[in-house]
Amino acid sequence: MDTEDHQTVDVLVRLAFVILARLQAHAAATDLSTQQVRLLGILRDSEPTIKELAAQMGTDKSSMSGAVMRAERRGLVSRAPDERDRRAVRVRLEPAGRNLVGAATRQFEVEIGELFESLTERQQALWRDFTLRMLVADAADRCVDL
């Protein structure tokens, strides 16, 4: 690795820590863990199985089952049988979970948006495109659907 590669990695890690710190603060304000915030975020747009959730979040099925169970106890999510595979269950967002993640997302988007204020709209679009390419490549490497 040359110096430029090290700088790229350093910048990426620093940005990850900045975003994670802000995410943790928002999660704490809603009495959620960052894992639960991510879980609710995924469920906004889909009703995956526990196995699919585990793959998307990079964890095992047992840990994901526990996270879903904790969210279910709070009335944030529910489970329903998978219509195509009776052995599997689908996890869906309940209204309380949708309200919670909606409010948290709006606040988080404002705060993260502040990070991008120094960039032009074109630079922001390029950043989104490049980042999405990296995320898609990573998901493909892990055999995960985005």
CATH number of 3-115: 1.10.10.10
* pLDDT per position as a tens digit, 25-53: 888 888 888 889 899 999 999 999 999 99
Q: Where are the domains of the chain?
A: 3-115
Name the amino acid, one letter, at 2. Answer: D
* pLDDT per position as a tens digit, 81-121: 988 888 889 999 999 999 988 887 888 888 888 999 999 99
Determine contact, residues 115/18, Cβ cutoff 8 Å: yes
Name the amino acid, one letter, at 123. Answer: Q
Give strand pairing partners of 78.
92
Q: Where are the beta strands (DSSP E) in the chain?
A: 77-81, 89-93
Note the pTM of the prediction, 2 decimals.
0.78
